[in-house]
Amino acid sequence: MITSLFVPPIYYAFLCHPTARCLYISAITALDLVAIVTLGWGAHIALMLEAVMGVAYASGVGVYVGRIPERWRPGEFDLVGHSHQIFHVLVLVGALTHYAAMKMLLDWRLRSMTSCNALCGAGFVS
Ligand SMILES: [Zn+2]
């Protein structure tokens, strides 16, 4: 979620600098992927939810930036169905998906705490 939150500000901040914008967003995405891979495969479902979250955020940005659907029927979506409203719904979907993923990761981490303690040779520090 944090990575996805970077995309809209970077997009607008570097609007007139497409190369820098592309490099910046690509670097953040690559670092996010590294973080996901290093989490391990025991949290597959949570990682898939994180991917869904990314799709929701990216779709929201795409809808908002593309002014969809009002660009196709100007004036028809001024009150309901405006791209800004769709953007907010997709942000909510992304946030809820992220929450669900974090809950699954927490549960997964707590379930595997015994093996983690065995690997680290130390008790859980609370
Ligand atoms: Zn808004």
Cα of 113 vs centre of ligand 1, distance in Å, is 40
Is 88 one of the annotated binding-site residues?
yes
46 contacts 108 by C-beta, under 8 angstroms: yes
Cα(83) to ligand 1 centroid in Å equals: 10
* Residue 122 pLDDT greater than 80, yes or no: no
What local confidence, expressed as pLDDT, does residue 34 receive?
78
Handedness of CA 50, 31, 59, 96 (dihedral sign): positive
Whole-number Å distance, alpha carbon 63 to ligand 1 midpoint, is 13
Work out the burial of residue 93: count CB atoms within 10 Å of its CB; fewer than 13 is exposed, 13-18 middle, 19 or more buried. Answer: middle
pLDDT band for 15, please (50, 70, 90 cuts).
confident
Mean pLDDT of 65-72: 96
Q: Which two tokens stand for residue 56?
A: 């929701």
Confidence at 101, pLDDT banded by 50, 70, 90: confident
> How far is residue 28's CA from residue 34's CA, in Å, rounded to a whole number?
10
What is the distance between the alpha carbons of residues 112 and 66, in angstroms, rounded to a whole number? 44
